[in-house]
């Protein structure tokens, strides 16, 4: 008999194990057996909860996106303008989000999204939400065209810094990444005000 109440705990353990396995491997080339072993459950139970590896990997990406979304909502609550943009930047480079296994998982998901319609859809949702949050914060302080360009640039910098950090040796440096995006933000705001 299955233990009552264990399914959410085991699902979360499998998702966490998948993220760690992807982070260590640096790709989605991990097996259900490896993930299940890390989670302390049988491969059969992992298949029972998620069907196949692709379903588990998609659940891991949805989990990462949900965590990022929740952190972002809390960080921007009650903030407007520059403060709101700075909160978006800070969340993306927070200790919780910018840890090595999450950064590696993002890189692996970006690569896999080239071949997976469902992962591509998740990444498009993420990109639209990031752009929308940035644009909402920038519009009150910049002209519309400048706000659109700045939002696109900030989003590209965030994504690009994740990719660059995933490809470097050693732990990702969130402080320098955040500072670089902040510098870009300040330049864009200053350029718009002076034109």
Domains within the chain, CATH numbers bracketed: 6-194 (1.10.357.10)
pLDDT digits (tens, 9 = 90+) for 80-135: 999 999 999 999 999 999 988 898 888 888 888 898 898 899 999 999 999 999 99
Q: Cα torsion at 145, 150, 153, 157 (round to 10°)?
A: -170
Q: Give me the pLDDT at residue 141, please.
A: 95
Question: What is d(CA 103, CA 164) in angstroms, rounded to the nearest whole number?
Answer: 10
> What is the tens place of the pLDDT at every residue in 30-82?
899 999 999 999 999 999 999 988 898 889 999 999 999 999 999 999 999 99
Instruction: Evaluate if residue 143 carries a pLDDT over 80.
Output: yes
Structure confidence at residue 20 (pLDDT): 92
Q: Give the C-alpha distances (Å, rounded to integers) separating 71 from 24, 67, 115, 172.
A: 24, 6, 29, 19
pLDDT at 1: 42
pLDDT of residue 100: 85
Q: Considering the entire predicted model, what is its pTM?
A: 0.87
């Amino acid at each position: 008999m299955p233990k009552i109440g264990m399914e959410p705990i085991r699902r979360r353990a499998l998702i966490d194990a998948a993220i760690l396995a992807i982070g260590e491997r640096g790709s989605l080339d991990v097996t259900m057996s490896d993930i299940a072993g890390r989670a302390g459950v049988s491969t059969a139970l992992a298949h029972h909860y998620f069907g196949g590896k692709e379903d588990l990997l998609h659940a891991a990406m949805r989990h990462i996106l949900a965590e990022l979304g929740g952190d972002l909502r809390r960080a921007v609550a009650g903030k407007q303008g520059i403060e709101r943009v700075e909160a978006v930047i800070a969340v993306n480079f927070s200790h919780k989000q910018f840890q090595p296994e999450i950064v590696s998982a993002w890189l692996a998901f970006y690569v896999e999204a080239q071949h997976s319609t469902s992962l591509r859809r998740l990444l498009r949702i993420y990109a639209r939400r990031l752009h929308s949050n940035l644009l909402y914060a920038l519009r009150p302080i910049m002209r519309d065209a400048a706000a659109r360009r700045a939002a696109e640039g900030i989003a590209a910098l965030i994504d690009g810094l994740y990719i660059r950090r995933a490809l470097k040796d050693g732990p990702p440096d969130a402080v320098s990444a955040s500072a670089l995006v902040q510098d870009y933000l300040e330049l864009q705001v200053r350029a718009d005000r002076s034109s």
